[in-house]
Homo-oligomer: A and B are copies of this chain.
C-alpha cells in the first residue's frame, strides 16, 4: 500500500517556497541549496500527480491547485510551530517573570518573597515593576498583577487583595494642617500624587465632591514616592489601604477620613487563558494565592 502522505521534507519545501514565492529564499530559510528545494517540489508534484507551481519569467507562481494546497499546509505548519514553541516554553525552567505595578511590587510582593524562596528554593522569580501595562502575550512574561475590575479579555484574573483607596497622611501633618474632617476639606491641603490627577478627582467625585477642577499645580507630583512623601508629612496621599497596612499599624500614617470608597477596583493576578503556565510559574501562582488569604502579620 502506498503511504498516505508524501515525504514531509517535500511538503515543507513546497510550503516554504509558496510562502516566499521563491525557491532561492525558501532554500535560504531551510539552509539548503535551491537545487534541493527544486527537486523536492518536483518530487511532490510527481507524487500527487499535480502541478503545483509554474515558472513565470524568472520567478515562480502557484497554480490553482498549488494555492489551495499551500493554504492548507501553511495552517498546518503554523500549528506544528506553535505546538513546538508551547512545549518548549512550558518546560522552560528559567525564572518566573512577573510584571506588576511598582507600588504592589514594593509594598506587597517584595516583603513576602523571602517566604517563597524558603518554600521553593529552586524556583527563581523575577519581578518587573512596570509603570505601563505590559502585554501578557509577550513571550518573556509568565503572569502579571493588575489593578482594575478583573475583566480583561483573554486573561484569567484571580483576586489577590482589595483595592480600596483612601487619603492618608502622617499624624504630624494632620496636627499642624487645616482641619480635615470631610472630603471637601481636602481641597485646602497639599495633595500628593504619584501617577496622575485621575485618582484624586475620581475619588472626590465618588465621595460627593463634584465639579472639582484640579489643575496640575494642586499637586506634589512625585513619581512613585508619594507614599514616602506622606510618611514624611508633606501632605495627603491617595493610596490603596491594603498596601499601607504596616504603616497604619505602626502609626506612621493615619486615615483622617477613614476608608470609605467603593471603587470596585482590586489587585488581580492575571495569566493568559490560552497558554498553560509552566511548572515554576504554577508554583508561584499557587503561592501568591495562598499568601493573599494569609492574615497580615506584625513587622
Q: How far is the CB of A93 from chain B (nearest CB, A)?
A: 10
Contacts of A31 in B (CB 8 A): 3
**Beta-carbon contact of A73 and B80 below 8 Å:** yes
Q: How far is the CB of A189 from chain B (nearest CB, A)?
A: 56
Q: List 26 A-B contacts (CB under 8 A).
A: A4-B81, A4-B84, A5-B80, A5-B81, A8-B8, A8-B12, A48-B87, A48-B91, A49-B88, A49-B91, A50-B87, A50-B91, A65-B90, A68-B90, A69-B84, A69-B86, A71-B83, A72-B80, A73-B79, A73-B83, A75-B79, A76-B76, A76-B77, A76-B79, A76-B80, A76-B83
Label chain A's interface by main secondary structure. Answer: helix
Q: Please name the residue on chain B nearest to A84 by beta carbon.
A: B5
- Please list the residues of chain A having a beta carbon within 8 angstroms of any beta carbon in chain B: 3-6, 8-9, 11-12, 31, 48-50, 52, 65, 68-69, 71-73, 75-77, 79-84, 86-88, 90-91, 276
**Beta-carbon contact of A87 and B69 below 8 Å:** yes
CA distance A49 to B278 in the complex (A): 14
Contacts of A4 in B (CB 8 A): 81, 84
CA distance A80 to B80 in the complex (A): 11
Q: How far is the CB of A79 from chain B (nearest CB, A)?
A: 4
Contacts of A75 in B (CB 8 A): 79
CA distance A9 to B75 in the complex (A): 19
